[in-house]
Structure 1
Amino acid sequence: MTNHSDSQVTRQEIFKDVQANGNITVGNITQIYKIVNNLGELPKPTGFPQNIPASNTDKFVGRERELERLHQQLQSNHSVVIAAVEGMGGVGKTELAIQYSLLHLQLDNYPGGICWLRARESDIGLQILEFATTDLSLHPPENLELPEQVRWCWQHWRQGETLIVFDDVKNFSHVKPYLPPQLSQFKVLITTRLKLDLAGSLFLKVLSETDALLLLAQLIGEEKQNQELALAKELCQRLGYLPLALQLVGRYVKKRNITLADMLKRLEEKGLGHPSLVVKENDPTWTLNVKNGVAAAFELSWSELSDDAQQLGCLLSLFALAPIPWSLVERAATEQDSEELEDARVELENLHLLQGGDTYQLHQLIQEFLRNKQNNLVNADEQKDNFCKVFVGVAQSIPDSPTLQLITSVKDAIAHLAEVAQNLTDAVSDKNLISVFVGLYAFYSGQGLYAIAEPWCQLCVSVLQSRLGEEHPDVASSYNNLAELYYYQGLYSEAEPLLKKALSLLQRLLGEEHPSVA
């Protein structure tokens, strides 16, 4: 962490080469963050009206391009400009707005002040009045209604370009009456989980692996990360490169002084419920200014959804972490007509819980959150049954020797069929259980991909033995399929005992006169 003994000299040194006045570049911003981890550490200029909240991070990484683009959007014309930072919960929208505000506070780009408004709260008008009276010494006439008092404040605001931040907007119509007038001095920055489709919308993605590792190293120490680099990469991937999750887990690892292997094991056991990802109320001791844990951040979005959208979210959580063709969703959602389903999908997209176009995908922590919700549904078992029936149908459509055309038609469903085979066999009937694995076997072996097909054949034997017992014709078939795979690869010594087991079992179960025995 940088030590600033002489604040004025340090500030001048850090910012001396930076071009301001609407022309700050990625290079400039990168240079600043190389010298100082977080602009919140710098002393703030005095005599400047601002109420920027404290930063939520020790180290701000990977958002230089977004900071540049945000400034370009806000300076793009001579009337009021609204730029919106959109994205899923935990992706760092508020932190980006804080860092943008701190950066341009130091650059003196908003002499009219930086006014931060907590838009999730209902008293936006009162917050504006409070800033105007406390920081600008304005006193609007008391005989006016609140909206007129706010309008009076805008008209009598301090001169110079002014940044107004509406943080965490959950309903744009609640904010609209309090937007400043169309005067060139006002620039409006909105952070939101909503998809507002404004001309100045900036969609914030999760961090790249490089930046996620940089953030983690800052939290746990570079030496520790370098010693466990493969595990550090695995941890970043496990957390979906989500800044909030990386912040919380990194600080937990540092505080507990545990290995990354231990951390991964704990997350495997408890997932989103693990204490590292939960922020307890009134316990900011190791979480800085973070108010919500990961699940709590997602819960804010979940509570905004209709019942139909919640049902769809739960259904989508059953799919694998792979692109999801919409046609498969329609087949699995048997209770809803296509238009209702589309409406529910748009709700999820509007809150950035779902991303896509032709196919759709969930972030892995959102998938985990929604799976927990799915387990608590009244109709959880029915939803799983309908889901699995779709993929049993897909599996049964794949012949032993699939054509290229058939392979192309089912390939987008294979990852989700594999998800059923690995995690959802409890929802598949005894009669159809073998079909799930035979479909995967046929898809891969039919293309000569025997090494990929083999684990599915082995899993098939294991699952069928466990579920159906040793004395079942489908168990014999599973031996036969695995033997056939070995035979194709010339592994005759592995194939022969399995074929003998299959034959012996079928003779015993079906008798000598049965076609399957022949």
Structure 2
Amino acid sequence: MLQGSANFVGRQHELCLLREKLQQPSVVTISAVSGMGGVGKTELATQYVRQHEADYPGGICWLNARESDLAAEILQFALFNMNLEVPQELGGRKLNPEQQVEWFWQNWRPTEGLVLIVLDDVTSWKSCRKLLPKSNRFRILMTTRLRRIDTNFVEISLDVLSAEDALIFLTKVLGEQDQRVKQESRVAESLCAWLGYLPLGLELVGRYLVEDPDLSLAEMLHHLKAQQLRDEAINPEEEQLQDTEMTAKRGVKAAFELSWRELNQKTQYVGELLSLFAPDVILWEWVEFTSKSLNWVEADVKEAKKQLYKLHLIQRLAERDSGYKIHPLIREFLKVKQAASKQADELKRAFAEIFIAIAQKIPDLPIRRDIESVKDAIPHLTEVAQNLTDAVSDENLIWAFVGLGRFYSGQGLYALAQPWGEQCVLVVRCSLEKKHPYYAICLNNLGNIYYFQKRYQDAEPLYEEALAITAEVLGEEHPDLATYLNNLGNLYTAQERYQDAEQRYMLAVELTRKIQGEEHPDLATYLNNLGKVYFLQKRYLDAEPLYNDAVELTRKIQGEKHPDLVTYLNNLADLYTSQERYQEAEPLYKEAQAISQDNSAATQY
């Protein structure tokens, strides 16, 4: 039997629950502690045995169910621990191993009192079932990586430690005299979080730090982030662990490898794909979409989900339909497998395509409904932008950055949008020709972000360069030119450079009429903006027909409830108010208010 850790922390609820379940009078009570590798299942069983040994006057039998011939191990226990030689034959009949084990349970010594049998690390209930006693004096506690190993058992699913208990555990492993957790409290929290609060990872790192008292927690965290699961702190040789009093005798990578080997090859492929997702909510539909582009069989993907869930390699989120998460260290393990895979490039391309497609659906001015529909995808789109641009085709290169910029700008979070706008410019400049239309789009988008931050001097040269590139590459009659002219007009209006603004808006109106016709939504926008410049200069007679045209054009092509109509109606009403034409202004304000209320469920942030 194992000694158990002197640094054991928490788990009181689970220990009480185990005692309650195992003490219930019934026909052979069986309780299963399940959880991912390294979460502390064996340690919990050990602590339970140590704390409640007196509850089992009939004795305790600890068996390793993973790597041994269980029948042979039981018979060896009889011989070496109870000095009981099990007969080879009985009444002239030769006994097979199963019958010998049955004889042993029937002749267990002492003959009275509850007996606890611990089956550690069960990988198959079928292989154990026929070898267990049938008398109700025996209570069975098993540990397993398998979720719901049998629906007839009481299962206690073991999760990682809480953030608070993880810090306490790390402090205890380091020892009372060690002040590093206290001195570097913020870093200690980050270290525990990086390890995903996994007891095995915390203990291994703690022991490594004990060996080097001059190693700071910040340096340790830096090493781990750089080396990942290759770092010797969490991936020591098994020989090193054999000489310790640790309950676990494997490093983190080796512990996860045991679960990996139980997956079939197609499930391993799905595991490699999952490594590409950010450490956040994963909607399973994204896995299914990606698998279709990889031409995987649908039934294989469904079976893979079952296997991964069964082995605690993915965690289902109760609060999110078909939502899953992966423990951060399991994700790192799967990344190692994916990097060594022959299909790594194919997986990356398929993964990136799914989230590029999502990014392309985010409109220029997203409303609340748009934001809500894509928010779960944003961490994974970020992963594409940060780490997978090599897997994206040139024609789609800008879309991860554009999508992220639109998502944050649409909520007024321009400080969060800015780095994506800047990175878009940098990536396209390095990957494509500088006079590429995509480069102009990136410049314009970054200019918009600076404009909304009121950084007008930074925005102006970007708009000007976008205009010049587009005119040179796409010609003088391209719709993007009108967009960039309008944006410059907005900039000049904000700076009260009304003559410059008027010129840009008039060019945008003229160009749009020429190439898009008289019934295009952009034309209404440009007419309204030109009217606004006249209004700000108190040129009310010039502004009024433009505002009216914008309102009527929007009603005609966008309908009576379009959000832009609210803006145009309010502007026209403001014009009438400024002229003291209150009776004409009032119904426009009321109409704008009614439309706004009707669209309240989809208003912008």
| TM-score for the superposition, normalised by structure 1 | 0.86
Q: Which moved more, 1:288-297 or 1:146-155?
A: 288-297
1:411 and 2:411 matched: no
1-side partners of 2:256 and 2:165: how far apart? Answer: 23
- Which runs of structure 2 are paired with 1:459-478 in the superposition (5 Å)? 459-478=423-442
2-side partners of 1:286 and 1:321: how far apart? Answer: 32
The answer to whether the 8 A contact 1:248-1:287 is kept is: no
- Residue 100 of structure 2 is aligned with which of 141, 146, 149? 149
Residues 41-89 of structure 1: per-residue CA shift (max 9 Å, x gap): xxxxxxxxxxx1232x340001111111111111123321110000000
Which structure has the larger Rg over C-alpha atoms?
Answer: 2
What's the counterpart of residue 317 of structure 1?
275
1:369 and 2:321 matched: no
Secondary structure in structure 2 of the residue aligned to 1:122: coil
2-side partners of 1:58 and 1:496: how far apart? Answer: 65
Secondary structure in structure 2 of the residue aligned to 1:179: coil
Residues 364-421 of structure 1: per-residue CA shift (max 9 Å, x gap): 1101100111111111111111111111110111110223333222222122111111
Q: Which moved more, 1:344-353 or 1:138-147?
A: 138-147
2-side partners of 1:317 and 1:77: how far apart? Answer: 46
- Residue 345 of structure 1 is aligned with which of 305, 312, 316? 305
C-alpha change, 1:75 and 1:287, in structure 2 (3 Å) is closer
CA drift at 1:225: 0.7
Q: What is the letter of the counterpart of residue 308 of structure 1?
A: K
CA drift at 1:510: 4.2
CA drift at 1:337: 3.6
Residues 443-464 of structure 1: per-residue CA shift (max 9 Å, x gap): 2212222222222212212222
Q: What is the letter of the counterpart of residue 319 of structure 1?
A: F
The answer to whether the 8 A contact 2:31-2:156 is kept is: yes
What's the counterpart of residue 296 of structure 1?
254
What's the counterpart of residue 117 of structure 1?
63
Secondary structure in structure 2 of the residue aligned to 1:111: coil
Residues 138-181 of structure 1: per-residue CA shift (max 9 Å, x gap): 23222122111111111111221111001001111111111111
- Residue 232 of structure 1 is aligned with which of 188, 197, 212? 188
- Residue 82 of structure 2 is aligned with which of 126, 130, 136? 136
Structure 1 residue ranges without an equivalent (≥5): 1-51
1:280 and 2:226 matched: no
Q: What is the letter of the counterpart of residue 98 of structure 1?
A: T
1-side partners of 2:246 and 2:82: how far apart? Answer: 29
What's the counterpart of residue 602 of structure 2?
none
C-alpha change, 1:420 and 1:287, in structure 2 (3 Å) is farther
Q: Which moved more, 1:360-369 or 1:350-359?
A: 350-359
Size of the aligned set, in residue pairs, is 463
- Which runs of structure 2 are paired with 1:17-96 in the superposition (5 Å)? 52-55=1-4, 57-96=5-44
1:201 and 2:183 matched: no
2-side partners of 1:467 and 1:58: how far apart? Answer: 56
Q: Which moved more, 1:135-144 or 1:118-127?
A: 135-144
2-side partners of 1:167 and 1:451: how far apart? Answer: 52
1-side partners of 2:211 and 2:446: how far apart? Answer: 49
Secondary structure in structure 2 of the residue aligned to 1:277: coil
What's the counterpart of residue 127 of structure 2?
174
- Residue 315 of structure 2 is aligned with which of 352, 355, 380? 355
Q: What is the letter of the counterpart of residue 300 of structure 2?
A: E
Q: What is the letter of the counterpart of residue 271 of structure 2?
A: G
2-side partners of 1:101 and 1:383: how far apart? Answer: 46
Q: Which moved more, 1:467-476 or 1:382-391?
A: 467-476
- Which runs of structure 2 are paired with 1:251-270 in the superposition (5 Å)? 251-257=207-213, 258-270=215-227
The answer to whether the 8 A contact 2:78-2:104 is kept is: yes
The answer to whether the 8 A contact 1:317-1:370 is kept is: yes
- Richer in helix (by share): 2
2-side partners of 1:179 and 1:392: how far apart? Answer: 54
Structure 2 residue ranges without an equivalent (≥5): 90-94, 483-605
Secondary structure in structure 1 of the residue aligned to 2:179: helix
CA drift at 1:472: 2.6
Q: What is the letter of the counterpart of residue 303 of structure 2?
A: D
Secondary structure in structure 2 of the residue aligned to 1:276: coil
C-alpha change, 1:286 and 1:494, in structure 2 (3 Å) is farther
Structure 1 residue ranges, 4+ long, deviating more than 6 angstroms after superposition? none
What's the counterpart of residue 19 of structure 1?
none
| TM-score for the superposition, normalised by structure 2 | 0.74
The answer to whether the 8 A contact 1:206-1:242 is kept is: yes
1:216 and 2:164 matched: no
2-side partners of 1:240 and 1:297: how far apart? Answer: 15
What's the counterpart of residue 200 of structure 2?
244
Root-mean-square deviation (CA), in Å?
1.7
1-side partners of 2:266 and 2:245: how far apart? Answer: 35
CA drift at 1:340: 2.4
CA drift at 1:248: 0.5
The answer to whether the 8 A contact 2:267-2:300 is kept is: no
